[in-house]
Amino acid sequence: MAKPQKEPHITLTEGSIRVHWGEKTLTILPTSLPPNTEDPADFTIDLDSILTWDAPHDEIEIEVEELQKITTAIEEEFERLGLVVEFE
């Protein structure tokens, strides 16, 4: 029997971020920014839009502690790749 994942695994896809955590998945799409934004980040995330996991776990709310671990994992992955992520 596989052990549950203690930390989220981040995958960057073309136009989205996929978070895999155990059997659950979260797809994060970028937030649109005004065209005159100086030094825009490679990816901007609206934290208020992250509420639940993707189907079939879409009735499970993402807890604050989980969201903190997800954002930390995203920051680490972007830093590893030399990209910039911004959270709003």
The Cα 27–Cα 16 span in angstroms is 7
Query: Within 13 Å and on the Cβ side, how many CA atoms surround 42?
Result: 16
Q: Looking at residue 4, what is its pLDDT?
A: 57
Q: Looking at residue 24, what is its pLDDT?
A: 97
Q: What is the pLDDT along the chain (88 residues), one digit of tens a residue?
A: 455 568 999 999 989 999 999 999 999 999 987 677 777 789 999 999 999 999 999 999 999 999 999 999 999 999 999 999 999 8
Q: Looking at residue 46, what is its pLDDT?
A: 95
